[in-house]
A and B are shown apart, each in its own frame.
Chain A
Amino acid sequence: MKIATGTASHRSIHQVTKNIVKDVIGDINGTSDFLMVGFTPNYRSKQAYEEALVKLSDESGTTNIVGGVFPGVATSDGYPTTQGCSVMAIKSDDITFHKPYSYSNIRTNPKKGAKIILDCYNKIEQKNKMGFFLTAGPFFEPDAYEQMKILDTYFAQKFKGMFNAIGKLINKNMGKNGYGTANYADEILSILAKKNIYNMIGGATIDIDMVTNFQFEGINVLKDAMVGTFFSSDKLEFDMDWTFDKSQRSDDFNVSDYLTSGYVQKINKKPARKAFLDLIGISEEMYNEEFARYANASLLYLSALSSDEGEHVPYVSIIQSILNGVVTTIPERILKKDNVSADFFTQSGTGIQESAFECAIKASQNIENPCFGVFINCSNRLLIAGDKIEKETNMIKEAIGNDVPFITFYSGGEFSVIRNKPVFAAVSLHGMIAGENTTKNVVF
């Protein structure tokens, strides 16, 4: 098996592609079986990305390419970049890389997307399987939240049943127009888990400036699409896990009143926006100054729902001055109880590094000899870590081994099926490891 990874950085996409061809494709020395590709959004034009993919495909000899655009990309052997490209190229007789699939309408028809994934999965005969898929992520206009104002009205509080339905419609409409990923990604995950898909790692493409948002399948550059593939093997095994920074837990609070559209009207029985700001202890002016650039999402103050299994499911809260409530990325599937209890976890640079180590350790604990890894990391974690981000890469190396190649995409939503359970989380890290288990099969 030959695996090559590399990250290149340059203002010109042609130069970046040239460097990747030299350092990564060249390192494989022959035809690659699969390329995983992440470009940063600064090159903007669809044609530029198409030309880059054609070049990568021509030079590697494969059209088995899956990838997308992310604000940051990294590999095990280089400093992360926000102006360049990361690629992992694999050639292996031990793994089958299945033909990539794509579906261009994922925001409006997630059920069809799930069906395409299942069709691909059902054709695989080898015993060990791992899915990898990317969807379009958040991509909306600054005034997208205006539509939610209706959920603050007297009637919305009074006639909850009716306004739940209205809220759902608004949310769906915003989803179609590029707001968030919670609803469609979570719906796909639920279907896949119900149909017994065991492990599948996924994430959403994103440009923090909301200008460029592309997904790659073969040499095709798509928008608002889902792309993915499966790896399968009889010899190698795959495992995965996820985590987030749980090191600094603060107040418990009660999401006492909410609409099923992911719009929280009240926290601790008070109007949610004011209660949220009181809980995190900063003024609205300061909040706007700090987070306006990030779609008003509270990056440092992460809310997490307490699940029945005693775990936490983190979600992002978004405070908009025009709304009295709080917009959240909680999938509708989770909001079924009357009172939902939640906690705050303040995110920190050190906590993020430690959680990267934890994720990599958990993902690799059942694999004796890791061969390669794929990590979907949150772009919010990239923003929190800033120029210390390479420390996270170092922590992953420490956990899985210095010589194990891996690629990291900093995404706009991380979602996986992990051991048959759907996990839609925010500000989190999901990781998968492929490798061999040699001692397990010994019979005494």
Chain B
Amino acid sequence: MNYNTGLTSELSDLIHLDDVEAAILFRIDGNVIKSAFKEEHSNEILRTIQWCKANVEKVSLEMKTNNLAKVTYELNNFNVIFSVVNNVTILTTLAIRTANMSLLSIETKRKAMLISASL
């Protein structure tokens, strides 16, 4: 499996979960490495993604400084989960507000581990 197909597949797995709207792999400077979205997405999702892009550098610095593996924000009717993949990459998962966060956290952690292994 080549590198790009592998990443796309891992992110596609996440957006196949009912509660997940988008999954984006960011470099900590805010550049998008890979992303996957549900077919229909609203302006609200796009606004939330913009917020993620604008803030990922700040969030990752905070995570690095405090040795945090995962941070969750509630924003614009979404839960935004930032999971550390490695020193320079962050996996961001956008889920609906009523998402089952316990179950989702298991899959986001699994994906962060798999992506980390493939990078």
The 8 Å CB contact of A83, one of B16, B70, B105, B113, is B16
Size category of the A interface is: 20 to 34
Is B44 on the interface with A (CB-CB < 8 A)? no
CA–CA, A311 to B102, complex, Å? 30
Contacting residues, chain A, for B9 (C-beta < 8 A): 10
Contacting residues, chain A, for B105 (C-beta < 8 A): 386-387
Give the nearest-CB partner of B13 in chain A. A11
Contacting residues, chain A, for B12 (C-beta < 8 A): 11
CA–CA, A42 to B104, complex, Å? 13
Interface centre among A382, A387, A389 (most CB of B within 10 A): A387
Is B34 on the interface with A (CB-CB < 8 A)? no
CA–CA, A291 to B18, complex, Å? 19
| Binary flags per residue of B81-110, CB closer than 8 Å to A gives 1, else 0 | 000000000000000001011111111111
Size category of the B interface is: 20 to 34
Contacting residues, chain B, for A383 (C-beta < 8 A): 100, 102-103
Among A47-55, A74-82, A185-193, A198-206, the stretch in contact with B = A74-82
| A/B pair count, beta carbons within 8 Å | 53
| Binary flags per residue of A337-361, CB closer than 8 Å to B gives 1, else 0 | 0000000000000000000000000
Say yes or no: A72-B103 contact (C-beta < 8 A), given A79-B113, A293-B98, A387-B109. yes
Say yes or no: A209-B18 contact (C-beta < 8 A), given A11-B13, A387-B70, A387-B109. yes
* Min CB–CB distance A346 → chain B (angstroms): 17
Is A9 on the interface with B (CB-CB < 8 A)? yes
Nearest 3 Cβ contacts at the A-B interface: A11-B16, A387-B105, A387-B109
Is B54 on the interface with A (CB-CB < 8 A)? no
CA–CA, A267 to B18, complex, Å? 39
Contacting residues, chain B, for A10 (C-beta < 8 A): 9, 13
A-B CB contact pairs (8 Å), 10 listed: A9-B110, A79-B109, A81-B107, A82-B103, A82-B106, A82-B107, A83-B16, A293-B98, A386-B101, A386-B103
| Binary flags per residue of B3-14, CB closer than 8 Å to A gives 1, else 0 | 000000100110
A387, B13: Cβ atoms closer than 8 Å? no
CA–CA, A129 to B101, complex, Å? 40
| Binary flags per residue of A93-123, CB closer than 8 Å to B gives 1, else 0 | 0000000000000000000000000000000
Is A71 on the interface with B (CB-CB < 8 A)? yes
Is B17 on the interface with A (CB-CB < 8 A)? yes
Other A-B contacts than A81-B107, A83-B13, A208-B103, 19 sampled, CB-CB below 8 A, are A9-B107, A9-B110, A10-B13, A11-B13, A72-B106, A79-B109, A80-B106, A81-B106, A81-B110, A82-B104, A82-B107, A83-B16, A209-B18, A382-B102, A383-B100, A383-B102, A384-B102, A386-B102, A387-B105
Which B residues have a C-beta under 8 Å from some C-beta of A? 9, 12-13, 16-18, 70, 98, 100-110, 113
* Min CB–CB distance A186 → chain B (angstroms): 28
State the main secondary structure of chain A at its contact with B. Answer: mixed
Contacting residues, chain B, for A384 (C-beta < 8 A): 102
CA–CA, A71 to B19, complex, Å? 14
* Min CB–CB distance B89 → chain A (angstroms): 18
Contacting residues, chain B, for A382 (C-beta < 8 A): 102-103, 106
Say yes or no: A42-B17 contact (C-beta < 8 A), given A293-B98, A293-B100, A386-B101. yes
Give the nearest-CB partner of B99 in chain A. A293
Contacting residues, chain B, for A42 (C-beta < 8 A): 16-18
Contacting residues, chain A, for B16 (C-beta < 8 A): 11, 42, 83
CA–CA, A384 to B102, complex, Å? 7
CA–CA, A424 to B96, complex, Å? 35
Give the nearest-CB partner of B103 in chain A. A82
* Min CB–CB distance A142 → chain B (angstroms): 13
Say yes or no: A387-B18 contact (C-beta < 8 A), given A10-B13, A11-B12. no
B107, A83: Cβ atoms closer than 8 Å? yes
CA–CA, A382 to B103, complex, Å? 8
A386, B17: Cβ atoms closer than 8 Å? no
Interface centre among B16, B106, B110 (most CB of A within 10 A): B106
CA–CA, A359 to B48, complex, Å? 44
| Binary flags per residue of A23-63, CB closer than 8 Å to B gives 1, else 0 | 00000000000000000001000000000000000000000
Contacting residues, chain B, for A71 (C-beta < 8 A): 103
